[in-house]
A and B are shown apart, each in its own frame.
Chain A
Amino acid sequence: MKTHPYSRLPSYAYWRHAVANVPPGEVDPVVDPPFRFGVRDRIVTAGSCFAQHIGRHLAASGCNYLVTEAAHPFLTEGAARALNYGVYSARYGNVYTSRQLLQLFERAYGRFTPEENYWHERAGVVIDPFRPQIQEGGFNSVRELDLDRERHFAAVREAFETLDVFIFTLGLTEAWRSRKDGAVFPLCPGVAGGDYAPAEHEFVNFAVDEVVADMTAFLERLRSVNMNARVILTVSPVPLVATAERRHVMASTMCSKSVLRVACDMLERRFEHIAYFPSYEIVAGGYCGVDYFGPDRRSVTPEGVAHVMRAFDRHFVKRGLVEAALRRAAKALAPVTAAATVDAVADAMKLMCDEEALDLAPADAVAPEPSPDPDSSEGARSE
């Protein structure tokens, strides 16, 4: 029998073994990642909206999901959620493009300050052009935004400098940028703040070489502040909401995702500390035998997310009894709530308020019982 390069390949190399004969929902396209991370490794996530699933899963599964811009303990969980604390490691919101990621780094380290740095809406509302939806209603003043940015950038720096693993989900190639200084916006001006002006803003659709260049620049900068950082790249399977190209949104989606996928491949081959994780392939590849898109054909179903995260856990999270025990312990630790002091004061005040009421009743208060003639009752006295 003749031998050739395909005669002794592992089963994952054959479609029949690795895809066609695998039960729906069990296809696992990850083979041999260059590293795994343990329960003590600090993980930071960023990227397009699909990245939120990854961060949420890691936090819930007992991994060391690093949050450097945590909500102040004074805030309730609901308030923290409303202001997007903890959605990502820092409050940067969705980072859709490679240029946006590079720009975040440059801004956090004070190397780039965009000219269009504030969007003044109506009185008392200032929007951060680079986090336009980070909190509903924007910021109440330039001063508030500046102070929040200062804290935010410190948190971003801390995240980059202390992380062990950075997981970045590349989402888009299309973006809008300032004609003045090239600053890219996560959303087109005018959509969630600001005013779109053709003389000031231009559309850009990053090509493979630009994505690779941006990511390379980012990876070098990350290395410059954190020699041990390892990076996992993945491509979001979520299609574009809309395209600014003069073509069908489906064609633009395929083009964008293809560019990003190729860029990831080039980066993975170039850098040893980079791993690629195939979220896109699992959900949007169409090969797993399960439809992982919801009725809007954009939202990824919980089953799709679960499939992705199963594969991620299997290949990127260290195994072993100690690791498993530590993760279980981390999961069991309830989040510390800081409302206790406030609630204790409120309880004490309620007691005091009741005492205050004693001062009103019975002479002055209207009894809740019916009285025969309200106009002449004790409660309705002193006409």
Chain B
Amino acid sequence: MKIIGLGHSHIVAIAKGCYELQHRGATIGGQAFASSFIYLYDPNIMPTIVEDGGAPRLNPQLAEILAREGASFGLLSVGGNEHIAMSVVRPREPIDFVLGENPDLPLADGATVVPEAAIRETMREKMAPTLNTLTALRREISAPLFCLEPPPPLPDSRVLAYPKEFFRKAVDRGKLSTELFRYKMWRVQNGLYRAVCAKENIAFVGVPERFVTSPGVLAEEAWGADASHANPLFGEAMVGKAIELMEARLAASET
């Protein structure tokens, strides 16, 4: 049994979590497993999507690697920071929206309230490379694929502790969006992931509830080393959930 993991920055925590599971002797359906991870910003396999006679397809070198690996299933952590890139800086004209999945969440005082659809369409544009990559990977890999939900946004304290990640310099609180707004943006982003996954027959693996604390930020136990990433504990939990789903599939196929 072999896992192949692909993605951008969040794949690091996923990979480390997976290695930790393997180190502790975790199994899939009672069998030990191997894993390998591919960082999609590796210059040797960039760009991830290439044009082939006008049709987008996966970089041939990456496709070759995937074919050679012949994994039993794949873990995808493609993109995932678009929501925070879009939302961390408070716009000059404050903005907010009603989250359809939880329409009673409070709205920021004085903010211009726009339809969620407007946010979603904006994010869809920003996420186009990510979503196209998921589609291209699905077309290249016949094995089951699991798309791992990116971690929720980190709290203000972490963003202010690592401002250079977003602002290139120190930042005052006035420039920072609210945690609740960032949480809503994360949910919108995940809605787009879910939609593509449903269309492409990719299983979507949600973040365990214990990692999301009020008002919708990453729980401290899962904080990574900066202001937007999670740690290997988070990765371990996500890989564990994916393995459970894979085991359920295996069990279902045996009956």
Contacts and interface: CB of A to CB of B under 8 A. Distances in A.
Interface stretch (B109-117, B212-220, B246-254): B109-117
B91 A341 contact: yes
Contacts of B86: 342, 345-346
B68 A370 contact: yes
A147 interface: yes
B103 A341 contact: no
Contacts of A76: 121-122, 125-126
A367 B42 CA distance: 9
Contacts of A341: 89, 91
B61 A368 contact: yes
A144 interface: yes
Contact of B2 (A360, A361, A369, A380): A380
Given A78-B125, A141-B98, A368 B118 contact: no
A382 interface: yes
Interface stretch (B4-12, B49-57, B134-142, B196-204): B4-12
Contact of A368 (B22, B62, B92, B125): B62
A74 B113 CA distance: 12
Interface string B61-103: 1101100111000000000011011101101110101111101
Q: How large is the interface on A (under 10, 10 to 19, 20 to 34, 35 or more residues)?
A: 35 or more
Contacts of B125: 76, 78-79
B117 A83 contact: yes
A113 to B, nearest CB: 20
A365 B91 contact: no
A140 B126 contact: no
A139 B113 CA distance: 13
B100 A144 contact: yes
Given A75-B122, A79-B121, A365-B37, A135 B115 contact: yes
A141 B33 contact: no
Contact of B228 (A124, A144, A352): A352
A22 interface: no
Interface string A342-377: 100110110011101101110011111110001101
B100 A366 contact: no
A148 interface: yes
Interface in A134-150: 135-137, 139-141, 143-144, 147-148
Interface of A: 71-76, 78-80, 82-83, 124, 135-137, 139-141, 143-144, 147-148, 151, 338, 341-342, 345-346, 348-349, 352-354, 356-357, 359-361, 364-370, 374-375, 377, 379-383
For the complex of A and B, 5 pairs with smallest distance between CB atoms: A140-B100, A79-B121, A353-B9, A379-B36, A141-B103
9 contacts: A75-B121, A79-B124, A124-B100, A141-B98, A352-B165, A361-B39, A369-B44, A370-B65, A375-B2
